[in-house]
Structure formats: C-alpha cells, structure tokens
C-alpha cells in the first residue's frame, strides 16, 4: 500500500463547471505531482509542488491550477471544464527533489467524466 | 526532448510462457528509468527502477529489466507469466535534476490460459 490517497474516486461534471480533486501524500513526502491519464494513454505531467510552491508545469492551460498545504496534502482545480478533460487524474508523492526522491508513489486516481 | 517509446501496444502470451515488453528512451543526459504496472481502475505500482550501477535490475513479482545505454533501451522481462500479470505496463523516465516523469503509451499484457 502506497499511502497516497485521492478523493473522490469517481466524479461526473458538466461542461463549463469547475472541479477540485484532492490528494493526501505519503507521510514525510514534501513533493507532489499531478498527472492526467486519458483513456488508452500514458500519464501526462500537469504540474508539481515542492514545499507549497509550484516548481514545474507541463503543457496544460492556466485553468488547471493547484495548491499544496503545510501538511503536504494537495488539490488540483480545473475551471471551465471541457469534454476532453475527461480522464483519470493521478497524484504522486515523492520524498524530495534529489536522488532520494526519484521514486514516485501514486494514488489510485480520480476518474473524472465531463458530460 | 526527452521521450519514451513502448513499441508494443498489446502483448498476448500464454500462461507460464516468458514475456518481454520493450521500452526505448531518448535523452541526451543521464536518466533514471522505471517500470510501473496498472491494474484496472487502479493507480500505478512500481515494479522496478534503474538509478545507476548494475544494468540488470530485479523487481517485484518476478520481473526484471536490463538497462542498455548503447541501445537506449530498458526492456522488461519475466521468465514465466501468470494470469494475474494481466495488466497495463508503463515505462517511464526521469531526467536527473528535473521534476517530471515522462511515460510511454503503455503495453497491455494479456495472459491467456
């Protein structure tokens, strides 16, 4: 068991709405990343937070935003949902930025369906 | 730009037969390499990783992989598969000093009885 938990597990939203996904990192991990996995594809990097600051971002528009809290839990917010946002959203936590933090522990994901 | 290519989208294999899932990476700098497994409706579970040292890496559930720098490959192997190995397998790369995993598109392993 990885210790990374995500909520909710499934979610259905209407196009144009906003959604917040939550992630609780593994104990002691100060780095969290979010990935989008479309059906039949590999996960795509959205962004990463390290000690509450965003320190990396993939090719996603600004309507994808996030937060990391002092207890290292995290949120992914998506505004103005589009049909193509339907995907499995994965949270991954790591122990740090150096070699010790190379292994990412993934949560079970949130399946978002936009209708 | 860094990229990971998984050459086979689907691999059917009979139970107790050997299997190899292929992965090639493209990077001009040193990389760390990983194989993850994903069961239906679940997240990713780490099978094994290559950081440095011995090029043959052993992981969980009897899987192993060999890092080949000259061929820029990191193929995953198992000498004898079980029905329970049926899943999606992802190869991933992490460039030293960066922050994001680059994943391949995945290989669906289907073990047949």
* Smallest CA–CA distance from A90 into chain B, residue: B43
Name the closest residue on chain A to residue B35, using Cα atoms: A103
Q: Structural domain tally of chain B? A: 1
Tens digit of each residue's pLDDT (9 = 90 or more) over B100-110? 889 999 999 99
> Which of B42, B26, B33, B110 has its CA nearest to residue B67?
B33
pLDDT for res B37: 96
* Cβ within 8 Å, pair A106-B43: yes
* Inter-CA distances, A110 with A72, B84, B90, Å: 18, 24, 19
Residue ranges of chain A whose pLDDT lies below 70 = 1-2, 97-101
Q: B100 to chain A: which residues are within 8 Å by CB?
A: 33, 45, 48, 56, 58
pLDDT in tens, B40-56: 878 899 999 998 888 99
Instruction: Tell me the residue range of the domain where B92 lies.
Output: 3-112
pLDDT at A17: 98
> Residue A110 forms beta bridges with which residues?
A89
Q: Which residues of B touch A (CB under 8 A)?
A: 4, 32, 34, 36, 41-46, 49, 51, 90, 92, 94, 98-106
- With beta carbons under 8 A apart, name residues in chain A contacting B41: 108, 111
User: Using CB atoms, which residue from A40, A48, A99 is nearest to B99?
Assistant: A48
pLDDT at B24: 95
Q: What is the DSSP letter of A25?
A: P
Q: Look up the CATH number of the domain holding residue B49.
A: 2.60.40.10
Each of the 113 residues of chain B gets a pLDDT tens digit; together they read 678 999 999 999 999 999 999 999 987 666 889 999 999 878 899 999 998 888 999 999 999 999 998 999 999 999 999 999 999 999 999 876 667 889 999 999 999 99
pLDDT at B2: 78
d(CA B60, CA A29): 23
Beta carbons of B101 and A111 less than 8 Å apart:
no
Selection from B14, B4, B13, B11 nearest residue B35 by Cα: B4
């Amino acid at each position: 068991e990885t210790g990374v938990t995500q909520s909710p597990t499934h979610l259905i939203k209407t196009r144009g709405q906003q959604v917040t996904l939550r992630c609780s990192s593994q104990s002691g991990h100060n780095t969290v990343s979010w990935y989008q996995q479309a059906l039949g594809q590999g996960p795509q990097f959205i962004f990463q937070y390290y000690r509450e600051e965003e320190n990396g971002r993939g090719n996603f528009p600004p309507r994808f935003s996030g937060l990391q809290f002092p207890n290292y839990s995290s949120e992914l917010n998506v505004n103005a949902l589009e049909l193509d946002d339907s995907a499995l959203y994965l949270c991954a936590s790591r122990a740090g930025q150096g070699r010790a933090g190379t292994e990412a522990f993934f949560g079970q994901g949130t399946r978002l369906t936009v209708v | 730009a860094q990229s990971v290519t998984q050459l086979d989208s689907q691999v059917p294999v009979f139970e107790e037969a050997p299997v190899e899932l292929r992965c090639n990476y493209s990077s001009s700098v040193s990389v760390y390499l990983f194989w993850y497994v994903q069961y239906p409706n679940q997240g990713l579970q780490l099978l094994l990783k290559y950081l440095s040292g011995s090029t043959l890496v052993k992981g969980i559930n009897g899987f192993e992989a060999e890092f080949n720098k000259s061929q820029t490959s990191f193929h995953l192997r198992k000498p004898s598969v079980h029905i329970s190995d049926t899943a999606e397998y992802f190869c991933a790369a992490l460039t030293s000093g960066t922050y994001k995993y680059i994943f391949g598109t995945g290989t669906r392993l289907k073990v047949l009885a």
